Structure 1
Amino acid sequence: MTPAEIETDVPPDAFRAISAGRLHWCGLRGDYTVTCWGANFYGRADPPTGTFVDLAAGDSHTCGVREDRWLACWGYNFYGQLDAPAGTFSDVSAGWLHTCGVRDDGALTCWGDDRLEQISAPAGAFRAVAAGSRHSCALRDDYTVTCWGSNEAGQLEAPIDTFSAVTVGAQHSCGLRADGTITCWGANLGGQADAPSGSFLEVAAGEFHTCGLRADSTVTCWGQNGSGESDAPSGTFVSVTARGTSACGLRDNGTVTCWGESFSGYARPPSGTFSAIFAGWLNTCGLRNNGTVTCWGNNDLGQARTPAGQFSTLAIRWSQPCGLQADGTVACWGDGNDEHEDAPPGAFVDIAAGFAHTCGLRSDGSIECWSHSDVFGNDVGQLEVPSATYQAVASGPRHSCGLVYDGSITCWGANEHGQTDAPSGTFVALSLGHDHSCGLREDGTAACWGRDFHGQTYPPPDKFSAISSGWDSTCGLRIDGTVACWGDNSYGQSDPPAGTFASVTAGKHHSCGLREDGTAECWPQLPQGVDYYYSRDYLREH
């Protein structure tokens, strides 16, 4: 569906149109270039150079109409969804694994996955097209709607009426009537087809939610709200777009506000200073100078709530952060499964958390690991700590390592990728990722081992003072205070900003550094002109 465009002159760095994909977003700048952000698997957030007049972000690919009205597509292409036909187009829409476009003569053409006949476009003259997960709908010249593809929930059964626009989600479709009312059809388990009354200017369907731009320029969303995707922010907008479990609105000043699922919330630290920061898979926590904790980012299981009390250190990996309280005991928050709670009695001096297990270092150099999970807690021996005297402990999802007092590293737990096969030598620090492990040698060089799908076990030949491993990436703090990261960079988590830092921490899709003045800075950062909104109701509920 063609994104709405600001009709007035737009500054080059502002946006004139936006399109939401699944975990990535693209905007058309005032100078008609494209900026994309978010997940970048297969290059779906890497637009080509040049100028465009329209763009459409899909689940794993993006397409745009160039100024000469020819198409350009980028991203995932297993089903040929990037292979746009030659010729000029007036509209384009990127779906899950297929793409559809309206030619200048009104003819409809689709390409890509056709397992459910979603590219078997009907004949006739059309004004606009909307490609969804496994079905598509188009607006004919006579303003009626025709749909094709999968019909398991009745999403093809458009009412006999006239419309000014059409949009499709995973299993539902919606149309904007000429009188400004919205009607939806198809799946409605989350209420995504229960359009509110009133007059609207636009409608945009996500996976299981829908948003509409009202006549008064405010946005209303309905349907599922597991990620806050139906909690539209206040204020006025000129356009709205939705996909997956997120939505974005374009304001009249050319800035963009997004809400719902995002890989940016945990990369937006609050103001103030910290003594240490800890990046988890989908959220981040910071330890304030007075020992209190502030967390931000994904909060679907309460992991971004602020715990009471004072802490000396934190361990944040999956969905339940834990910390050492002033008396050395362990406290955790988030995740109703409580798999990291019920630590053994007594005090600890350090703590490390995996997927379903936690390990603590005692003052006598012993390590104890525990879990509440009968299924995943010790399925590969992650609780079976080898006997030794340790000075540090680190955990990945299903394995852990300890730094022995003689400087050697001992590991236990999952080893399908060699992540517990620590090299010999003397080390001063260690950090564990998903299926890889890293250690800092006495001479300041880094050594990594285990799975290397993204190059995460090949550190640069620099000298480091600290190291932190994320899911499939690792970051190191160089001797001069600058940061180097290596491994997976699908979200920009391995592109650190310039300048010097006092510490660094790597998460799953993001990394953070603590500046020398105690402020936190995380990456990837949202592009200029884009902001993210979390509703207070969503945070209270979660």
Structure 2
Amino acid sequence: MSPACLRIAACLLALAAAARTQSKVLAFGDNSYGQCAVPPTGTVYVEVVAGGSHSVSRRSDGSIVGWGYDLYGQAVAPAFAPLTCVEIATGSDHTLARLSDGSLIAWGDTSYGCCLVPALPPGVTYVEVDGAAQYSIARRSDGSVVAWGANFSGQCNVPALPSGLAYVEVAAGGAHSLLRRSDGVLLPFGDSSGNLNTVPTPPVGTEYVEVDAGTLHNVARLSDGAVVAWGSNSSGQCNVPTLPGGLTYVEIAAGGAHTLARRSDGSVVAFGNNTAGQCDVPTLTLGHSYVRIEAGNNHSVAIRSDGVVVAWGSNGSGQCDVPALPPALPFADLAAGFVQSAACLADGTLAVWGNLPSAPALPADLAYVDVDAGWFHLVARRSDG
């Protein structure tokens, strides 16, 4: 996934689901749509993701099980054989897939034109795609970027490229986007409230290597391991803590009005809005470190080096009630939707439960190798691309 605005949306959701590296899945939180009614398992979960109102899981036999909300048809991919899917992305109510011939297909809510993929010039293919609330953005093999859909804040008005340069990364926020160029320069466009479009100049000899977009603020990591943030600073979410000597930042995550940053020693710092305790990072036990972070609107989630998941902050729907695991059964990945859950199995299959139909059956000898979900839809990539 993962686009930044969808990570934020996913963490607003009403439940949490976790996948074990072996054959057990636990789900917890609001179960009004059956999102915690885990399907029977006969294989091992290897990956799990969830969208706004549906969930998806992949099992070790390569199958996908999906469930959740499907009002706009965003959960049912159109036929594209004999081509294969090589990348997936989601918006709030629509889904995009990049195919093996370099084309894009999109389905789901079309009310803002976010599924009307622009035609490609001759000899050009799509190489990256991202989705936001009601618009889509994609990078092409010639280094250009196109965006389409809702354009109320100018988020589809892609800046022109200087000669000799290309775009190399895209990050989509609520109603704004960030593009990283081949020279390391960041170009924001769209919603400019709270100085969202005022990118700090990197120090001489450094360049931007990672970006993330929150609701009304942006975060970026530099090649020297420093982190900068800008935009709305209403709760101090742009006040990046000073690093101790010898350490660097290695991962960033932007939430609703708070920010997480993981350091090279495996510790995590959080800053910004803490009204729900979303910045109160749990203390690590001796010998452990954090290996992944995720920021929601008012809560935070992290995976430790021993595979244990910890969550803190707002828990109104049980989104921080991570169940305990028996010994030697660490978590491999986790995600949660609004009224659904998903678990990924080691056999390449996906288990999905809640208000969404099962995933399409796979041809023989194939497996699902990647899956992602938006608010009301899901997408998956197969082992043949």
Instruction: Normalising by structure 1, report the TM-score.
Output: 0.40
- SS of residue matched to 1:42: coil
CA separation of 1:230 and 1:102: change in aligned 2, threshold 3 A: farther
Deviation at 1:225, TM superposition (A): 4.3
Q: How far apart are the structure 1 equivalents of 2:101 and 2:225?
A: 32
The answer as to whether partners of 2:262 and 2:290 remain within 8 angstroms in 1 is: yes
The answer as to whether partners of 2:95 and 2:377 remain within 8 angstroms in 1 is: no
CA separation of 1:152 and 1:3: change in aligned 2, threshold 3 A: closer
Give runs of aligned pairs for residues 226-245 of structure 1, distance below 5 A. Answer: 226=316, 229-230=319-320
Opposite residue 227 of structure 2, the aligned amino acid is: V
CA separation of 1:228 and 1:13: change in aligned 2, threshold 3 A: farther
Opposite residue 149 of structure 2, the aligned amino acid is: G
Opposite residue 123 of structure 1, the aligned amino acid is: T
Aligned counterpart for 1:211 among listed residues 287, 301, 323: 301
Answering whether residue 134 of structure 2 is matched by residue 60 of structure 1, we say yes
CA separation of 1:90 and 1:194: change in aligned 2, threshold 3 A: farther
Give runs of aligned pairs for residues 252-263 of structure 1, distance below 5 A. Answer: none
The answer as to whether partners of 2:95 and 2:379 remain within 8 angstroms in 1 is: no
Q: Where does structure 2 lack aligned partners over 5 or more consecutive residues? A: 5-46, 48-61, 64-81, 359-374
Percent identical: 31
What value does the CA root-mean-square deviation take over the aligned residues? 4.6
Opposite residue 193 of structure 2, the aligned amino acid is: R
Aligned counterpart for 1:94 among listed residues 155, 172, 192: 172
Q: Which residue of 2 aligns with 1:154?
A: 236
Q: How far apart are the structure 2 equivalents of 1:228 and 1:46?
A: 38
CA separation of 1:40 and 1:57: change in aligned 2, threshold 3 A: same
Q: How far apart are the structure 1 equivalents of 2:167 and 2:346?
A: 27
The answer as to whether partners of 1:13 and 1:528 remain within 8 angstroms in 2 is: no
Q: Which residue of 2 aligns with 1:303?
A: none
Deviation at 1:266, TM superposition (A): 2.9
Deviation at 1:528, TM superposition (A): 5.9
Answering whether residue 283 of structure 2 is matched by residue 201 of structure 1, we say no
The answer as to whether partners of 2:88 and 2:380 remain within 8 angstroms in 1 is: no
Opposite residue 58 of structure 1, the aligned amino acid is: A
The answer as to whether partners of 1:21 and 1:242 remain within 8 angstroms in 2 is: no
Q: Which residue of 2 aligns with 1:42?
A: 112
CA separation of 1:127 and 1:61: change in aligned 2, threshold 3 A: same
Structure with more relative contact order (C-alpha pairs < 8 Å, separation 6 or more):
2
Q: How far apart are the structure 1 equivalents of 2:290 and 2:103?
A: 29
CA separation of 1:148 and 1:218: change in aligned 2, threshold 3 A: same
Q: How far apart are the structure 1 equivalents of 2:103 and 2:321?
A: 30
CA separation of 1:15 and 1:211: change in aligned 2, threshold 3 A: farther
Deviation at 1:207, TM superposition (A): 2.1
Give runs of aligned pairs for residues 230-309 of structure 1, distance below 5 A. Answer: 230=320, 265-268=354-357
Q: How far apart are the structure 1 equivalents of 2:311 and 2:96?
A: 20
Q: Map Cα deviations across residues 237-272 of structure 1 (whole Å, 9 max, x no partner).
A: 8776789999988777766678xxxxx943449xxx
Opposite residue 203 of structure 1, the aligned amino acid is: I
Aligned counterpart for 1:174 among listed residues 260, 268, 272: 260
Q: Map Cα deviations across residues 340-362 of structure 1 (whole Å, 9 max, x no partner).
A: xxxxxxxxxxxxxxxxxxxxxxx
Deviation at 1:136, TM superposition (A): 0.6
**Equivalent pairs, count:** 268
Opposite residue 188 of structure 2, the aligned amino acid is: C
Q: Which residue of 2 aligns with 1:420?
A: none
Q: Map Cα deviations across residues 407-433 of structure 1 (whole Å, 9 max, x no partner).
A: xxxxxxxxxxxxxxxxxxxxxxxxxxx
Q: How far apart are the structure 2 equivalents of 1:218 and 1:16?
A: 30
Between Structure 1 and Structure 2, whose CA radius of gyration is higher? 1
Deviation at 1:85, TM superposition (A): 1.9
CA separation of 1:251 and 1:17: change in aligned 2, threshold 3 A: farther
Aligned counterpart for 1:189 among listed residues 254, 267, 275: 275
Q: Which residue of 2 aligns with 1:136?
A: 218
Instruction: Normalising by structure 2, report the TM-score.
Output: 0.54
Q: Which residue of 2 aligns with 1:369?
A: none
Q: Which residue of 2 aligns with 1:281?
A: none
CA separation of 1:29 and 1:143: change in aligned 2, threshold 3 A: farther
- SS of residue matched to 1:148: strand
Q: How far apart are the structure 1 equivalents of 2:107 and 2:310?
A: 24
The answer as to whether partners of 1:39 and 1:45 remain within 8 angstroms in 2 is: yes
Opposite residue 233 of structure 2, the aligned amino acid is: N
- 120-129 or 180-189, which deviates more: 180-189
Aligned counterpart for 2:154 among listed residues 66, 80, 88: 80
CA separation of 1:30 and 1:267: change in aligned 2, threshold 3 A: same
Q: Where does structure 1 lack aligned partners over 5 or more consecutive residues? A: 259-263, 270-508, 510-523, 531-542
Give runs of aligned pairs for residues 322-471 of structure 1, distance below 5 A. Answer: none
CA separation of 1:187 and 1:152: change in aligned 2, threshold 3 A: same
